[in-house]
């Protein structure tokens, strides 16, 4: 398709090994891939596109691009409580690249996929490769499965549920600032930590697959904590109240916000953390504490689901600090994408 490398050559050399001889992948050479279906399971399917210069820097290491592409998609499976199974990959590769550029990029990219797909329990089963006059554009479709009726939906939250979030919030948005040369007052170790959190999403698959039966509604934190909790509220016809001081933050984020308190709003509303935000009934607190310990992953209660009303639209999220409203000007914090 590009620079003298044909599609079949690209498949054989770079992608066929990623199918790990999965039978239904048909060597990545057939018209489509096959997955045997099972009774009482539901297929879970999601697709996400990332574009060079929009979702990742054009000079990003190809293995990091692979990690980001897998991460953002598998995070969606995690948020549904699904077990990942396989993925398809559609690549639009810049025509302007030389054969050497293309080979070296594909080598790094497929090495990045190979390094992570075992950990996630997935293999490549199909895809497409085309040439583009535009920027590198990558689309991944992730397929997983969940016991029928047990998927975690955004629409399942109810007034009285406790709102939990995994890990720490705001690191990725702060990491993007570091990438742009800001936050220079932070020590190098903190800067590196935040940058890494921006660069490489770590989908919370181990958490997601344990949440059916414990959580009610869930979403991944891709657009930002306030926005994604808002999506749960909108889908469920409820509202939420969270306490800014209970939102878990890393030492690096705490230091950055200590230096510049205006960054708190960025941390609460910035995207790309790929943590899970979920709701659960109050009596689940002990099961959640136990799960947190087992997974060695903080699961922090940050507020509660409340009825809509007060003249507010569904999906409204009230952020409080010391009992007073903490107003976030969302328009001020544009996502890179």
- Shortest Å distance, C-beta 34 to its own copies: 5
- Shortest Å distance, C-beta 89 to its own copies: 8
Sign of CA dihedral 74, 75, 77, 83: positive
CA distance 328 to 238: 20
User: Which distant-in-sequence residues (6+ apart) come within 8 Å of 178 by Cβ?
Assistant: 186, 191, 194, 195, 198
CA distance 204 to 123: 18
Nearer to its own copies, 210 or 326 (CB): 210
Nearer to its own copies, 104 or 155 (CB): 155
Residue 313: helix, strand or coil by DSSP?
Answer: coil
- Shortest Å distance, C-beta 290 to its own copies: 25
- Tokens at 80, concatenated: 């549904």
Nearer to its own copies, 135 or 325 (CB): 135
Nearer to its own copies, 37 or 310 (CB): 37
Nearer to its own copies, 145 or 190 (CB): 145
- Shortest Å distance, C-beta 110 to its own copies: 17
Sort 176 into a burial class: Cβ within 10 Å, 0-12 / 13-18 / 19+: buried
What one-character DSSP code corresponds to residue 30?
Answer: S
- Shortest Å distance, C-beta 319 to its own copies: 20
């Amino acid at each position: 398709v590009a620079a003298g490398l044909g599609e079949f050559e690209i498949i054989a050399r770079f992608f066929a090994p990623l199918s790990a001889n999965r039978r239904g992948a048909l060597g990545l050479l057939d018209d489509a891939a096959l997955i045997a279906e099972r009774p009482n399971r539901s297929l879970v399917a999601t697709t996400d596109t990332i574009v060079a210069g929009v979702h990742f820097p054009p000079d990003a290491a190809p293995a990091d691009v692979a990690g980001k592409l897998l991460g953002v998609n598998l995070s969606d499976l995690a948020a549904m409580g699904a077990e990942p199974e396989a993925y398809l990959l559609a690549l639009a590769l810049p025509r302007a690249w030389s054969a050497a550029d293309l080979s070296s990029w594909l080598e790094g990219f497929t090495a990045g996929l190979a390094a992570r797909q075992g950990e996630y329990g997935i293999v490549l089963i199909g895809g497409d490769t085309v040439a583009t006059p535009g920027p590198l554009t990558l689309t991944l479709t992730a397929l997983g499965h969940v016991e029928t009726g047990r998927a975690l939906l955004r629409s399942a939250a109810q007034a009285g549920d406790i709102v939990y979030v995994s890990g720490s919030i705001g690191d990725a948005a702060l990491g993007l600032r570091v990438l742009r040369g800001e936050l220079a007052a932070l020590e190098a170790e903190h800067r590196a930590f935040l940058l890494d959190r921006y660069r490489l999403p770590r989908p919370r698959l181990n958490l997601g697959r344990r949440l059916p039966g414990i959580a009610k509604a869930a979403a991944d934190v891709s657009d930002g904590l306030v926005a994604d909790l808002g999506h749960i509220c909108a889908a469920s016809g409820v509202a939420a109240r969270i306490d800014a001081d209970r939102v878990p933050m890393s030492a690096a984020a705490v230091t950055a916000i200590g230096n510049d308190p205006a960054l708190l709003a960025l941390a609460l509303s910035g995207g790309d953390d790929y943590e899970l935000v979920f709701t659960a009934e109050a009596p689940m607190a002990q099961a959640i504490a136990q799960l947190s310990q087992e997974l060695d992953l903080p699961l922090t209660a940050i507020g509660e689901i409340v009825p809509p009303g007060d003249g507010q639209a569904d999906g409204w999220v009230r952020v409080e600090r010391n009992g007073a409203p903490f107003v976030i000007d969302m328009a001020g914090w544009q996502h890179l994408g």
